[in-house]
Amino acid sequence: MNAFEIEESVKSLVSKGFNPKTFIIDFLKAYDAPKSLIQQLKGDHQNLSDISGGVLWRRNLHYKLADKGMVPSVITELRNSQATSKYKVRFVISTDGEEFSAHDLNTGNTVNCNFDEIDIHFASFLSLAGIFFEKEIEENPIDIQATKRLTKFYDSILQDNPDWKTDEMRHTLNHFITQIIFCLFAEDTGIIPKDIFSSTVRLYCENDSEQAKPVIEAIFTAMAHDAGAEVRSGLPGYTQKFPHVNGGLFRGNPQVPRFLRGSVRYLLDAGVLDWKEINPDIFGSMIQAIVHQDQRGELGMHYTSVSNILKLLKPLFLNDLQDQVNANWNSKKGLQAILQRLMKIRVFDPACGSGNFLVIAYRELRNIEIQVIRRLAEISDFSAGLWSHVDLKNFFGIEYIDFAAETAKLSLWIAEYQMNKRYEDEFGKFAPSLPLKDTNTIQQGNALRISWEDVCPHSDDSEVETYIVGNPPYLGRQKRNEEQQEDMEKVFSAYTSKYANLDYVAGWFLKSSTYMHKHNNVFAALVSTNSISQGEQVSLLWSALNKLNIKIIFAHTSFKWKNSALKNAGVVCVIIGIGNGSHGYRPTIYSDNTLKYVDNITPYLTSGTITYITPRKKPLSFLPEMDYGSMANDGGGLLLSPDEANTIVSEYPNALKFIKRIYGGQEFIKGIVRYGIWINHKDLDEAMKIPYLENRIYETRKNRLDSKREATQKLASVSYRFSEVRHTDQRKLIIPNLTTDKRKWFTVGFLEADDVVIAPSLAINGADFGTFAIASSKLHFVWISSVCGRFKTDIRYSNTLGWHTFPIQKPTEQQYKAIEELGKNILLARDAYFEHQINTLYDPNRMSVDFPKLYEAHIENDRVIEEILSGHYLYNDTERLDFLLSEYESLFKNRV
């Protein structure tokens, strides 16, 4: 259940009236409590409460029914209960059917209300359903309720007006919704007279819904014109108190849909809320979900984290501004210079969505302005003026989705009003809020097609600073539609022909670079998936950016870009700030809440010399080739569980020759046992005489014929074998295709000659102990961590990028024998703990303590290999990577 569904359930509970016998069960059901818990409580099984009549849900809730007037006493009893403490209960709750009380023992928040008002406070208990918000959201459920009520209004309007569902009317509908939202916000904040819009609609339309269209049309017309305009004289009297708003929001002839009774009711329901509490940086994201039904499952957990956005804005320009404030704290001239600088800062988000980055940037700049003016008033006779030095005309955006672009404009207006109000509260004066400024700086369109100069024009003023920001769509090659593929061609074709495997977000990096290449004082920082800084994408993207003399000015290494709903795992992202060659920034790498100043930042988001690693079909060094394992492509027909394999062999002993142990990454790491049917063509007739094998072959044939891929269909003719056979009957190393970066070493291992490695895991056939030791080294792990791609935070191994590029010089024969002994020592240490699987042995929290022999064997392996290859033990991973990049450059020059 999402937050809106829960609110409906709580409303339903309240509307049915109080039932003392079933209330707590019904309350828990409303919050989607597990069915097993409900059954336990119904049967009074495993009730952990130590209070007579109490009900306790571990870590969540302790409840007791109160006698009339005794709710406060029961709350005290519940708070003091030993079970409440023992089971780490969050909420203590009691009601007598008239009074309801709940205490949140984690936050200290309390709810005290009448029983029939519980639904108003539904958001306070959303954690019972596993929905958690950041503190600022948890304290402001108005955003959720506003979005919920607008969603109902939007759906009702579409039901009343089927002709408005067309693409041609989409902009009109979206603009109308934006106008409605503005009216609701404006009447609660004093921009227009208090409740004037809602009260007018209620008075003239509540009992006659057909009047809603002409009434709202008249209101919108009035707000589009000055009080003295001739058009106003012909409008109904109720419109005369509506002020002139304009700002483009009400320009032109108003287009208002038809209303039936339900739509009027939903509009009035929305008007009851206190809209001045809306968070513009949050609300913008939420109301996008109103018109995108595929996003509605996330309603109530669809916020963008402000802290993550500040990770981008602070190093790009906010930190520098604050440093300037601190340095000039006692200088009137210096502080006034900062105010002048604020007037010339422009922020441009070419993938602005509902305006989150722009809103937060605007708010932070206004906060700095207030800080500076307050200080000027303290140290001089400076007096605050009526106008802000931070103007909305300096905030630009491009957004593909029409409604999001409209929302961005509205969010900025709301943010401006709220900051103006704060300015007025601080300094006692500010210019009138109306009419709105018609800046027209947010445009709807395809950011990779339209000219950015048309949206954010070049300024001849050398003191103007332009900052490009945003979180563009990522979209790997397989997820792009035809239009997006064409976008990539249009953006990249002038710079490189090798762009097909780049993520879609790369287009924004290139367009940002071309924009700053043309204009001075332009800098950019964009959020991207971490794949843009890994694997082959690095050389593909930077072959284009280098032509424009672009440098990385700061970077946040991989982190999870979470929404504010804490159970949302988020996508793994990086933030990359870029500037031209003479950018003036001090290159800084941010990682795990730390920062490091460096001389240079590579496209891999490391410090050191910039070197681009390109895939190789053959090893750069003396190392043996690595290839993928065999690919089944069988729909499961050729794979067997241990029980299935035993059944076949017990009935048909001669089937044993056709069954091999197979290994992928999980089988090797976790010790999972699986088998595969392995038939050579010369033995096919014999195999077909075994009914079980014959059935599996036919099953595989059917699976392949049913495929939509022609190549797979052709493989139906050889349905007795894997589609891609790379197996050789020799001892081999298995290399898992995915590995966690939390381990200290990369885990590889030997398999017997008869064992089969299956793709996407990889193998080195005929590998020796020296190859094993090198693959197990810290040097190798550091290399693949930097140059291979990622799946979330896990390393996705690549033979062409991770192994064939691994840059180590060939040791002497004597040195290689020493390396082989190191490999043997690691294997012997593993054998000492034979009862444990690889994932346990290499658990970073246990390895050094529980498996010290293995840990020490790896330490010795690293020490000796590094001394052999580099001449000394390398102090840390930064030294290791610097050494490897230098070796790569040397080997590459000698091989090319």
Query: DSSP character for 70?
Result: -
- Which ranges of 689-750 would DSSP assign to H, the alpha helix? 691-705, 710-714
Pairing of strands 54-57, 61-65: antiparallel
| Residues 136, 141, 145: CA angle, nearest 5 degrees | 145
- Report whether 342 contacts 389 (CB < 8 A): yes
- What pLDDT digit, counting tens, does each position of 81-113 carry? 999 999 989 999 999 999 999 998 887 778 888
pLDDT of residue 597: 86
Beta-sheet strands, E only, within 769-871: 789-791, 794-796
Element (H, E) at 779: helix 778-787
Query: CA-CA distances (angstroms) from residue 83 to 58, 89, 106, 588?
Result: 9, 8, 16, 50
pLDDT of residue 562: 58
Bridge partners, residue 111, by sequence: 102
pLDDT of residue 70: 92
Q: What is the mean pLDDT of residues 861-882?
A: 89
**Average confidence score pLDDT of the chain:** 88
pLDDT of residue 296: 40
Question: Smallest Cα–Cα separation from 319: which of 357, 364, 289?
Answer: 364
Element (H, E) at 552: strand 550-561
Token code pair at residue 889: 């450059």
Question: Smallest Cα–Cα separation from 153: which of 133, 192, 128, 181?
Answer: 181
- What pLDDT digit, counting tens, does each position of 641-655 carry? 999 999 999 999 999
pLDDT of residue 250: 85
Pairing of strands 91-95, 99-104: antiparallel
pLDDT of residue 229: 86
- Report whether 105 contacts 75 (CB < 8 A): no
**CB atoms < 10 A from the CB of 755, how many?**
19
CB-based burial, 509-524: b 16+ in 10 Å, e otherwise: bbbbbbbbeebebbbb
Q: Is the pLDDT of residue 638 over 90?
A: yes
Ranking 15-19, 78-82, 290-294, 392-396 by mean pLDDT, the lowest is 290-294
Q: What is the mean pLDDT of residues 193-210?
A: 92
Q: What is the mean pLDDT of residues 141-145?
A: 65
- What pLDDT digit, counting tens, does each position of 310-362 carry? 999 999 999 999 999 999 999 999 999 999 999 999 999 999 988 889 999 99
Q: Is the pLDDT of residue 2 over 70?
A: no
- Band (pLDDT 50/70/90 cuts) for residue 283 is low
- Band (pLDDT 50/70/90 cuts) for residue 303 is very low
pLDDT of residue 799: 96
pLDDT of residue 134: 37
pLDDT of residue 1: 57
Token code pair at residue 83: 């079970």
- What pLDDT digit, counting tens, does each position of 777-832 carry? 999 999 998 888 777 778 899 999 999 999 999 999 999 999 999 999 999 999 99
Please give the Cα distance from 803 to 797 (Å, whole number): 9
**CB atoms < 10 A from the CB of 833, how many?**
15
Q: Is the pLDDT of residue 507 over 80?
A: yes
The set of residues, in sequence order, having a beta carbon less than 8 Å from that of 299 and lying 6+ positions away, is 2, 3, 4, 144, 147, 148, 151, 286, 289
More confident residue, 289 or 177: 177
- Band (pLDDT 50/70/90 cuts) for residue 716 is very high
Question: Smallest Cα–Cα separation from 747: which of 762, 734, 765, 760?
Answer: 734
Please give the Cα distance from 442 to 350 (Å, whole number): 9
DSSP 233-266: HTS-GGGTTSPP--TTSS-SS-------HHHHHH
Burial class (CB within 10 angstroms; exposed 0-12, middle 13-18, buried 19+) of 874: buried
pLDDT of residue 697: 96
Please give the Cα distance from 554 to 871 (Å, whole number): 32
Sign of CA dihedral 218, 223, 224, 227: positive
Q: What percent of the chain has pLDDT over 70?
A: 91
Question: Smallest Cα–Cα separation from 433: which of 422, 449, 448, 444?
Answer: 422
Q: Is the pLDDT of residue 299 over 50?
A: no
Token code pair at residue 629: 């394992």
Q: Is the pLDDT of residue 569 over 50?
A: no
Q: What is the mean pLDDT of residues 214-229?
A: 92
- What pLDDT digit, counting tens, does each position of 591-631 carry? 877 788 888 899 988 887 777 888 899 999 999 999 999 99
Ranking 364-373, 422-431, 511-520, 821-830 by mean pLDDT, the lowest is 422-431
Ranking 405-419, 442-456, 497-511, 742-756 by mean pLDDT, the lowest is 405-419
Task: Report CA Rg, the chain.
Answer: 33
- What pLDDT digit, counting tens, does each position of 10-48 carry? 998 999 999 999 999 999 999 988 887 888 887 766 678
CB-based burial, 465-486: b 16+ in 10 Å, e otherwise: bbbbbbbbbbbeeeebeeebee
Burial class (CB within 10 angstroms; exposed 0-12, middle 13-18, buried 19+) of 554: buried
pLDDT of residue 191: 85
- Band (pLDDT 50/70/90 cuts) for residue 307 is confident
pLDDT of residue 135: 40
Pairing of strands 675-677, 550-561: unpaired
Q: What is the pTM of this model?
A: 0.69
Q: Is the pLDDT of residue 280 over 80?
A: no
- Band (pLDDT 50/70/90 cuts) for residue 407 is confident
pLDDT of residue 323: 95
- Band (pLDDT 50/70/90 cuts) for residue 136 is very low
Of 295-304, 350-359, 875-884, the range with the highest mean pLDDT is 350-359
pLDDT of residue 137: 35
Q: Is the pLDDT of residue 133 over 60?
A: no
pLDDT of residue 288: 64
Q: Is the pLDDT of residue 566 over 80?
A: no
Q: Is the pLDDT of residue 297 over 60?
A: no
In single-letter form, the type of residue at position 562 comes to: K
Measured in whole angstroms, the distance separating CA 300 from the mean position of its chain's CA atoms is 16
Q: Order the strands of the 627-628 sheet from edge to edge.
A: 627-628, 762-765, 732-735, 749-751
Please give the Cα distance from 134 to 859 (Å, whole number): 42
